Structure 1
Amino acid sequence: MRTSSGAGELLVELNRDSGVPLHQQLESGIRTRIRAGLLRAETVMPSTRALAQNLGLSRGVVVEAYQQLVAEGYLVSRAGGKTQVADIAVVEPTIAAPAASGPPRIDFRYSRPDVSEFPRAAWLRSVRRVLNETPYRSLAYIDGRGTIELRTALSDYLNRVRGTAARPENMLICNGFAQGSRLLLQVLAAQGRTRLAVEDPSDNDLRDVAQAAGLEVVGVPMLETGIDVAALEQSGADVVLVTAAHQFPTGAVASAETRAALVAWATARDGLVIEDDYDAEYRYDREPIGAMQGLAPDRVAYAGTASKTLAPGLRLGWLILPSWLVEPMAQAKLMDDRGSPVFDQLAFADFVARGEFDRHLRRMRPRYRILRDTLVDRLAARIPELEPVGVSAGLHVMTWLPPDLGEDALREAALQRGLGVYGLAPYWVAGDGPAGLVFGYGSLRRKEVVEGIDLLADAIATIRG
């Protein structure tokens, strides 16, 4: 690919008091940059006239320097009068050799949707409309909550699909759940909250964030009907984080009784429930279950993201906030990054409002269900003692391990076969819960799921044999 260094600019330092002729200084400066790989092969050099004017030199000095570098093989003259960096002159920067043990050939890592199915054509149509129709004033600094277009589109969508009680003025757009949860915990700590309760087991990423914000973290056991609210009441927490629609990693669904008890706890304790609704759009064997936020909008902060439904790289997330949190969160967002990119928000707003988000989800559900069914069936056929739980929704399933199989040994044996499997150990708050495996299947193909379980069965046989 041919590149250009600009119409007449080239950064070369010249010292007119050094006694070294200027053409030699120019030669040396260009030669050094080529050797370092800073001027890549086929880069078009400025014309002698333009460079002379830019550096305050006579054209003859530049011509002499170029001629010398052409003679040495660093530059080459092309038809049409262009001078370019020669291929043979480039010395590429040293790159560290990759590690001998590469990534697993088949990887059951959780939290990976199939990004190859990203709806590029529909997204491109939304981007084009936004670029053509967005008024200039929308490109100025924006409200800390995000663009009104995206907050409106998402509130309409979530109220329709997830049963929330969202209003555009109570929504905040963030760079994924990671930023939204971090800002929320910081604001809550600044308001005097002291202890965060989390489901045990649960995703471990947020615990470090909470502790950095000054909050104490306590684990609350999980029941088949959701978090143990009686244990929560004894924990002394004033904030609790739940994944009510599809608990991570067990897959448990919070019952109506558990949801009502959580709302009652928050009301009596003057507490807050943070509802992470991370993958509720993907359900296979049960009716949709609405979000808790619709039950108590002033006691539940709802968090959603496009990471599991579209692509993690979009970094698009949203919060539905109680009214008393809206202003401090908007200020925290502005202080953090001055707001998420406008064009991304407007493109997503158009994408949602025109029904493309619904169409994409309808297209992906059958694909993920086939993968889920393949995984469950292959486990039953090859490793029946690994009975999956939490299979009715989402992009992962979990299995408990029998007493004779340890997570570390199994992970190492699998990795030797090019297979990535992941244990439950990081998800226990105290680090001492029963052993198990979490299988993420969203980014795999059916044949990879089948082969992966076969490799795991072979690894188990080796450990036992």
Structure 2
Amino acid sequence: MLLPAAGAPARRRGPALQEALREAVRSGRLTAGTRLPSSRELAADLGVSRGLVTETYEQLTAEGYLRSDRGSGTWVSGAARSAARGARDHAPRAAGFLVDFSPGTPDLSLFPRAAWGAAQRSVLARLPHPSLGYPDPRGLPELREALAGMLARRRGVVADPERLVVCSGVAQAVTMLGFVLRDRGVRTVGVEDPGSPEHGRLFASAGVETRWLPLDEEGLLPGPLAASGVGAVVVTPSHQFPSGISWSAERRSALLEWARETDGYVLEDDYDGDFRYDRAPVGALQGLDPERVAYAGTVSKSLAPGLRLGWMLVPDTLLAELVERKRTMDLGNPVLDQAVLAELVTRGGYDRQLRRCQRAYRERRDALLAALDAYLPGTRVTGIAAGLHVIARVPAVFGPRERFLARAADAGVALRTLEDYGTERPADGDIRLVVGYAHLAPSALARGVRLLAEAVRGG
């Protein structure tokens, strides 16, 4: 929850505080029944007048966001329903910020324009006219062959080209699977807590509810999963988003046992599985049971999200229904882009691009770690071995959390916290940041951490 900093002009503090609290209730960060600090406490934390906080509480109580029980404080009302978590995740990056540490975006300047252009010219010169007709909904045969070979080699999957469906990124893969599961009678799907908020929104668009399932440092907890009654689970086991853990072998086995015993399915979202910096990437879960695991991946992090190119390896029992769903959704992906990607994969250009990105992102990760160590000493960083973001646990001495985030925003630094991606609300006072670094140059990373440190240390 971003609250107005004490340095903001007085005329803006009241409306800004009201809107920040409204948004926190709508987004679910402040859940029904949460007791708010007293007006005196919140005013002291924010460095504003007690009257301003009292006026804000009264206004939001009148609107129905809060309720006030005389003698027992102010609470979040149950009247407001939380908007779908993550509604802003795929909006344009925050305007007006000097440095945006939000995760999820690669460095688009690394897109291999020359290699893509050369492959496109080659494809246009040789692609036969019939290939430009309505495509196989599963995708261009040469791309499916190329992707199957690459995924078997790099990710350890069981990759039959006949069971590979080219789609518009992982988002479409999730949506298609949602429709198929709903048609089969599945009404609820499990998602990781914390996890990608987008999964819930995509399943909701297919008429399927989601249920948060808790994680620990090894992966999904088997007990809550068994008791949940869900018919499928979507997971990120190779590099869990956002916590950064890699699931243990025991938890991978437990998940597959659950799927076999309950006739359930697993969707593996391998959103950044190629980016591992300490050793070879952890193999995909799908390789252990291709009949229970649907495996989805994308070029959004390795090339560019604007290409809208991804894939899903599908269990045989779901294949016909998924292909028909793909056909009715869009008749298939654009043939020329598929042919260009196939050219890059088969001629080694895609592997070269991955190596280029890995070098750049490792350098940026190291620059971020050095800056955190220099400017915010005592910060504990996890999830550094892979991916495009880290979890930075900033000591409570730099808090409280609301003031920390407010001061960061006032200094022009955009941040996301781990609490934005799940239901847990730790009470230890530490501030858990999900810090994206791939899209920022090393100098920008150092500048952003320095601005943040200066802001949260001030006054």
TM-score (norm 1): 0.75
How far apart are 1:433 and its partner, in Å?
Answer: 5.1
Partners of 1:202 and 1:386 lie apart in 2 by: 22
Q: What are the ranges of 5 or more consecutive residues in structure 2 without an aligned counterpart?
A: 1-93
Judge conservation of contact 1:193–1:215 (CA < 8 Å) in 2.
yes
Partners of 1:389 and 1:408 lie apart in 2 by: 22
How far apart are 1:216 and its partner, in Å?
Answer: 2.6
State whether structure 2 residue 286 is matched by structure 1 residue 293: yes
Structure 2 counterpart SS, 1:193 = coil
Closer, same or farther in 2 for the Cα pair 1:102/1:321, shift >3 Å?
A: closer
Structure 2 counterpart SS, 1:126 = helix
Q: What is the aligned counterpart of 2:124 among 128, 131, 137?
A: 131
Judge conservation of contact 1:380–1:387 (CA < 8 Å) in 2.
no
Q: Which residue in the other structure is 2:214 paired with?
A: 221
How far apart are 1:315 and its partner, in Å?
Answer: 0.7
Q: Which residue in the other structure is 1:420 paired with?
A: 414
Q: Which residue in the other structure is 1:272 paired with?
A: 265
After superposition, the C-alpha distances for 1:359-394 in whole angstroms (9 at most, x for unaligned) are 111122121111111111221222123211111000
Judge conservation of contact 1:407–1:423 (CA < 8 Å) in 2.
no
How far apart are 1:460 and its partner, in Å?
Answer: 1.6
Judge conservation of contact 1:368–1:442 (CA < 8 Å) in 2.
yes
State whether structure 2 residue 455 is matched by structure 1 residue 459: yes
Q: Which residue in the other structure is 1:353 paired with?
A: 346
Closer, same or farther in 2 for the Cα pair 1:102/1:164, shift >3 Å?
A: closer
Judge conservation of contact 1:407–1:437 (CA < 8 Å) in 2.
no
Q: Residue 417 of structure 2 aligns to which amino acid in structure 1?
A: G
Partners of 2:309 and 2:421 lie apart in 1 by: 25
Partners of 2:426 and 2:262 lie apart in 1 by: 29
Q: Which residue in the other structure is 1:47 paired with?
A: none
Closer, same or farther in 2 for the Cα pair 1:180/1:103, shift >3 Å?
A: farther
State whether structure 2 residue 359 is matched by structure 1 residue 366: yes
How far apart are 1:402 and its partner, in Å?
Answer: 3.8
Structure 2 counterpart SS, 1:422 = coil
Judge conservation of contact 2:171–2:202 (CA < 8 Å) in 1.
no
How far apart are 1:261 and its partner, in Å?
Answer: 1.2
How far apart are 1:169 and its partner, in Å?
Answer: 0.6
Q: What is the aligned counterpart of 1:410 among 397, 404, 407?
A: 404
Instruction: Tell me the C-alpha RMSD between the 2 structures.
Output: 1.6
State whether structure 2 residue 175 is matched by structure 1 residue 182: yes
How far apart are 1:439 and its partner, in Å?
Answer: 0.6
Q: Residue 299 of structure 1 aligns to which amino acid in structure 2?
A: R
Q: What is the aligned counterpart of 1:443 among 419, 439, 443?
A: 439
Structure 2 counterpart SS, 1:392 = coil
Count the aligned residue pairs: 362
Partners of 1:312 and 1:445 lie apart in 2 by: 19
Q: What are the ranges of 5 or more consecutive residues in structure 1 without an aligned counterpart?
A: 1-100
Partners of 1:408 and 1:204 lie apart in 2 by: 21
Q: Residue 268 of structure 1 aligns to which amino acid in structure 2?
A: E
Partners of 2:118 and 2:402 lie apart in 1 by: 47
Structure index of larger Rg: 1
Q: Which residue in the other structure is 2:28 paired with?
A: none
Partners of 1:102 and 1:281 lie apart in 2 by: 30
Partners of 2:106 and 2:205 lie apart in 1 by: 29
Q: Which residue in the other structure is 1:118 paired with?
A: 111
Structure 2 counterpart SS, 1:198 = strand
Q: Which residue in the other structure is 2:311 paired with?
A: 318
Closer, same or farther in 2 for the Cα pair 1:203/1:433, shift >3 Å?
A: farther
**Larger RCO, structures 1/2 (Cα 8 Å, 6+ apart):** 2
Structure 1 counterpart SS, 2:296 = strand
Q: Which residue in the other structure is 1:103 paired with?
A: 96
Partners of 1:431 and 1:193 lie apart in 2 by: 26
Closer, same or farther in 2 for the Cα pair 1:324/1:406, shift >3 Å?
A: farther
Partners of 1:225 and 1:376 lie apart in 2 by: 24
Partners of 1:282 and 1:160 lie apart in 2 by: 15
Q: Residue 330 of structure 1 aligns to which amino acid in structure 2?
A: V
Partners of 2:200 and 2:401 lie apart in 1 by: 22
Q: What is the aligned counterpart of 2:296 among 292, 303, 326?
A: 303
Q: Which residue in the other structure is 2:60 paired with?
A: none
Q: Residue 207 of structure 1 aligns to which amino acid in structure 2?
A: G
